Amino acid sequence: MKSLLKRHKKRRPPAIEPVPSSLPGLRGAEMAAVFSGRRQSGDFYDAVRINPSRVVFGLLDLPAPRRESNEHLLSVLQGVFRAGAQLLKSAGVNEPDALIELCLQLNRAVIETAGIGHSSPAFGGCYNEDLGTVCYFNAGHTPGLVRDSSNVSELGATGLPLGLFSHVTADARMIALEPGAALLLVSQSVVAAKRSGEQYGLRRVEETLKTTQRVNAHDLCAAVLQATEGFATPQPEDMTALALVRHRSTG
């Protein structure tokens, strides 16, 4: 890991692809991400397939009023994320242990690139197509939301945001997605959107998730952002939603 970070320091990485042209296709499920606004701040998402049954994905928020001030850090983090995702490549790997190590690597990258105190909430997960499970960490990020046949539940923080302490990381947890279930991630800018001083809040996101059913992952993301835009005045400059939807029929 140290050699990887040293290479990033010596040679400025290429510009990141903050809006991937496509996310990996899934068996029996689908994943999509949608952003809204002018890409002015530090929302960053990515997803990579690392073996025939696992896709690693993440959403990260950086604390900057303008995206260009974080451009180098975002490039470093994308490289570390994609390299670290390979920890989950082996079929026999312990997924929670590998995700904890990935979180540690991202934390070190933030600190070595931007310095301690550069708080960077992050949510990272690994979807296992064979099992229909998601192993995840939530480093101080907006809670993930899971909608199943009975309710909507929150995937709250399992640790502190990245960039605060050099030897602290988030725990990793495992959930199962039943057929028809959906996992939704939104950036902090969604819940923080305001109208007349009132925040949009996570509860309104949950209500949109509950009422927007039987749609694909892209349309779910779009519905969430459209609902936020309909509430907020002025319009947020940068909002992101990422959804993983398991098909009702997985045969």
The encoded tokens of residue 130 equal 């064979």
List, in sequence order, every beta strand (DSSP E) within 13-52. Answer: 29-37, 44-51
Say what the pLDDT of residue 218 is.
96
Q: Residue 189: what pLDDT?
A: 92
Within 10 A of 119 (CB to CB), how many other CB atoms are there? 17
3-state secondary structure of 156: coil
Q: Summarize pLDDT for 144-173 with one digit per residue, the tens.
A: 999 999 899 999 999 999 999 988 889 999
Sheet holding 144-147, edge to edge: 29-37, 238-246, 182-186, 144-147, 152-155
116 pLDDT band (50/70/90 cuts)? Answer: confident
DSSP state letters, 84-143: HGGGG-STT--HHHHHHHHHHHHHHHHHHHH-TT--B-EEEEEEETTTTEEEEEEESPPP
- Other CB atoms closer than 10 Å to residue 104's CB: what's the count? 18
Neighbours of 152 (CB within 10 A): 16
DSSP letter at 69?
G
Name the nearest CA neighbour of 180 among 143, 156, 158, 149. 149
The CATH code of the domain at 2-246 is 3.60.40.10
Tell me: pLDDT of 44 over 90: no
Q: Where are the domains of the chain?
A: 2-246
Amino acid letter for position 67: R
Report the pLDDT value the prediction gives residue 20, as an integer from 0 to 100: 62
pLDDT in tens, 196-222: 999 999 999 999 999 998 889 999 999
Instruction: Determine the Cα–Cα distance for residues 130 and 54; give it in Å rounded to an integer.
Output: 8
pTM of the model: 0.89
